[in-house]
Chains A and B, each alone.
Chain A
Amino acid sequence: MTGERRIKTKRGGRKKLFISLGIVVLLCLVPLSTTSPYYLHTLIITFIYVMAAASLRTILLSGQISIAHAAFMGVGAYASAILAKELGWTPWLTMPLGGLFSLVFGAVIGYPLTRVRAIYFSMVSLFVGLAIVALLGVLQGITGGDIGMIDIPPLSAIAVPGLPHIDFDGSKIPYYYFFLILSFLILLVLYRIEHSRIGTSWKAIAQAHMVASAVGINESGMRILAFSVGCFFAGLAGAGYAHYNMVLTRSSFGFLSSINLLIYVLVGGSGSFAGPIIGTAVLVIVPEIVRSLQTFAPFVFGGIMLFVVFFMRQGIAGLFEQLQSKLTRSKKREMPGRAP
C-alpha cells in the first residue's frame, strides 16, 4: 500500500523533473538564436519576477496573503546597492547580504505581523509595504529619495582561474544566464521546502490553524518562518535587479508592484508550485507581445485577470491539473463504498 503510493509520487516527480529540465535547456538556447537586447531583457525581468512570485507563494502557503512583497524586494535591492556602491564590496557578496537583510527585516516585522488573522494580515502588510517605501524616501541621504540611486555597480566579472573570464559590462547575455541559473536554483530550493514537512505544516496551518496547533505545530513560529523565507528570496531577487538595472527608484517597489506580484501568483494559480511561474510568464510576456497596442495593454492585462477568475478557478496552472486528472483518472475524488 505505502509502496504503491510512494512510487506514484516518484513517477510524478520524475516527470516534472524532465519537463523542467527541458524548459531550462530550451531557455539556455535562447541567446543563441537571438541577441536582441529587448527579448533578453524581457526574459531577465521575467526570471526576476518569477523568483519574487514563487517566494510570495511560499508566504501564501501558510495562509497569509502579503501585499508587501515588492517592498521587501526593495529592501534587498537598496541594501545590496548601498553596500556595493558605498563600501565597494563585490555584488556577489552584497546580493546574498541584501537577501539576508530583507530576511531579518521580515522576521522582525513578521513577529507581530504574523499573529494577526488573515484579512488583517493582508491589510497590515499593505501598510507595511507603503511604510517601507516611505522610509526609503525619508532616508534620502543614502537612498537618493525620489530621485533614486544611480551608478550601482554591475556584477563584478568572474575571474576564476581555470574558467573563462566572464564580464558583466557589455551585453546582457551573461546576465541572462546568471538569472536563469539563479531562478532555477531558487525554485529548486523552494520546491524542496514546500514538499518537506515544513511545507506540510504550512499547508496545515492554512487549512485549519486550530487543528494544526492541536497537533503540535507552532503556528506563529511557522508563519514567521514562511514570511522570513519569502522575504529572503524577495530581497535576493531585488538585489539581483539592482545590479542588473544599475538604477533604483523607490516607486518601483510600491503598492502597484506588490499588487502585480500577487496577481501573477493568483492568476497563475496559487494552489500549485508551477502557478506563479506560469502566471508571471503569461502576464509579463503577453502584454509585451501586445506592446504595439500600447494603450490597450492594461485592458489585456485586466481582461486576462477577469477571464481567469471567471473560468479558471484554480488559475492557469489549475487548468493543466484538470487536464491531467481527466487524462489519468485520479482516485482522490471518488468515494469507494460504504462503511467498515
Chain B
Amino acid sequence: MISEAAVQTVANVFMLSAIYILVALGFALLMNVLGILNFAHAAIYMAGGYICYELIVGAGMNPWVSLLISAVAIGALGLLIERVLFRPFLKDMNSIVVITLALIIILEATVNVTVGSYIRRIPSFVPGVFRVGTVSLSGDRLATFVIGSCLLAAAILFIRKTKTGTQMLAVSQDFDAAALQGINTRRIFALTTAIGCALAAVAGSLMGAVLSLSPLMGDYMLVKAIEIVILAGIGSIGGVLIGGLILGLLDASLPLFIGGSATDLIGLSIVIILLLFRPQGLFGHEA
C-alpha cells in the first residue's frame, strides 16, 4: 500500500515543478532570446499573483477571469518594460543589472503600497478535493499541474512549430544572422518578453492559491529560476522542463528529511558544482 504521505509528496513534486517551470521558462526565454538576466522576473511573478488576488478579492471577479486578466496585464507590463527599459541597453550588461534590480525594488514597493505586504491566500480556483483511488488530492494542486502542463505544452509547440516560434529560436542562436534574414527582431523581443511575463503571472496566481502570496516569494523564486536555467544549460528550452522537475523533486521531498536550510544548501551546491565543471548544464551547447 502506498502511503498517503508519499502520494501527497508526489503530487507536491508535480505541482511545484509546474510552477517552477512556468517561471523558469520565461526567464530562459528572456535569457536566450534577449540575452539578459532578468533579475526582476520573479518580482513580476509575485506581482501577477497579487494582481490576481486583488481582482478576485478586491473586485469580486471570477477566479478564472482574474487569472486571465492578470496574465494579460502582466504581459502588457512586460511589453512596456521591454520597450522602455530593456531595448536601449541590450548590449550593456552593467546597465541591465542595475535596471532589473531597480525594477525589483519598485515592483515590491508598489505591491507594498497598494495591496499591503501581508501574506495572503488566493481563494481556490478549483475548490474541493478529488479522490483518485484511495488518495485525495486538492483541486488546486491538480489544477496547477494541469494548467501548468497545458501552458508548457502550448509554449513548446509554439516555439517549435510556428513561424514566430522558429524566429525566436533563430534570434536566440544568432542575433545578427536573424536580423540579416529579415526577422523583425524588435517584434520578437517584445513578444518573447510578453509571453515570459504572462507565464510568470499565471505561475504567481497559481502559487497564491495553492500555497500563499508573500512579498518574499519573488526572492525565493528567482533563485529557483536561475538554478533551473543553469541545470538546463544555455540554449536549451526543453532542458528547463527536466531541470524544473529535478528541482521540484528536491524541494518537495528533501525538507521532510533534512529541513529547509540544508535542502537549500544541497540545491545550491549542486548548481555551483555544475557551473564550475559543466557550465553548459545538462543539455546546453558549449557556449
Contacts and interface: CB of A to CB of B under 8 A. Distances in A.
A112 B276 contact: yes
Contact of B93 (A119, A123, A127, A131): A119
Given A116-B275, A130-B268, A298 B94 contact: no
Interface string B93-119: 111011101110110110011000000
B113 A124 contact: no
19 contacts: A65-B93, A120-B279, A123-B37, A127-B268, A127-B272, A127-B275, A134-B264, A134-B268, A255-B219, A255-B223, A256-B219, A263-B101, A295-B109, A296-B113, A299-B109, A301-B102, A305-B102, A305-B105, A309-B95
Contacts of B97: 65, 262, 266
Contacts of A138: 261-262, 265
B92 to A, nearest CB: 8
A147 B114 CA distance: 31
A113 interface: yes
A196 to B, nearest CB: 25
Interface string A290-304: 000001101101110
B265 A126 contact: no
B269 interface: yes
Nearest to A297: B109
B219 A116 contact: no
A308 interface: yes
B268 A295 contact: no
B219 A130 contact: no
B130 interface: no
B270 to A, nearest CB: 10
B224 to A, nearest CB: 11
A203 B130 CA distance: 62
Nearest to A307: B102
A153 interface: no
A263 B227 CA distance: 23
B272 A131 contact: yes
A145 B98 CA distance: 31
A27 interface: no
A259 interface: yes
Interface of B: 37, 39, 85, 89, 93-95, 97-99, 101-103, 105-106, 108-109, 112-113, 219, 223, 226-227, 230, 261-262, 264-265, 268-269, 271-272, 275-277, 279
A123 B272 CA distance: 9
Contact of A127 (B89, B109, B271, B277): B271
B268 A302 contact: no
For the complex of A and B, 6 pairs with smallest distance between CB atoms:
A298-B109, A137-B261, A305-B102, A302-B105, A302-B106, A134-B265
Contacts of B113: 295-296
A259 B268 contact: no
A278 interface: no
Given A116-B275, A116-B276, A266-B97, 18 more contacts: A119-B37, A127-B271, A128-B272, A131-B265, A131-B269, A134-B261, A134-B265, A134-B268, A138-B265, A255-B223, A266-B94, A295-B113, A296-B109, A305-B98, A305-B102, A306-B99, A306-B102, A313-B95
A115 B277 CA distance: 10
A224 interface: no
A275 to B, nearest CB: 12
B89 A302 contact: no
Given A130-B268, A266-B98, A309-B89, A116 B279 contact: yes
Interface in A72-125: 112-113, 115-117, 119-120, 122-124
A270 to B, nearest CB: 7
Contacts of B223: 126-127, 130, 255
Interface string A56-77: 0000000001000000000000
A135 interface: yes
A170 to B, nearest CB: 37
Contacts of B103: 302
A122 B269 CA distance: 15
B268 A131 contact: yes
Nearest to B265: A134
Counting chain A CB atoms within 10 Å of each CB, the highest count among B97, B99, B227 belongs to: B97
Contacts of A256: 219
A127 B269 CA distance: 8
A287 to B, nearest CB: 11
Contact of B226 (A65, A126, A128): A126
A77 B276 CA distance: 27
A242 interface: no
Contacts of A123: 37, 226, 230, 275
Contacts of A130: 223, 264, 268
Contacts of B271: 127
